[in-house]
Amino acid sequence: MPRDFTPKVVTANALIEGDVVYLAADDRWTRDLSEAELLIDEAEAEYRLLQAEARAGEIVGAYLADMRPGPNGPEPVHFREDFRRTGPSNLFHGKQSEGLSRA
């Protein structure tokens, strides 16, 4: 018996900067997961992924990531996606540097 469809977002990496990006409902790429379009229909999710893959001049490595609805938008189901949204794993780079000050 097939598994039930898990809601998804289209995610990729920005071609130039390498940042994790998400496809929003208005077809723009956003670095903020809360702005990503949460896809609850499997056929629509596959279609949106195909649209994203056609934008090879903007992104690389597009795929569908499992998510769940949250109070502030999509929330990751798996650790990998939770980790990806925080940016590089070393301090003072990308999203992890926001709000930090160097002493």
Number of neighbours of residue 71 by Cβ within 10 angstroms: 6
Residue 50 near residue 59 (C-beta atoms within 8 A): no
**Residue that is written with structure tokens 């709000």 in the block:** 99
How far is residue 49 CA from its own chain's centroid?
A: 12
| pLDDT of the chain, 103 residues: tens digit per residue | 678 899 999 999 999 988 999 999 999 999 999 999 999 999 999 999 999 999 999 999 999 999 999 999 999 999 989 888 876 665 565 566 665 544 4
Regarding pTM above 0.85, the answer is no
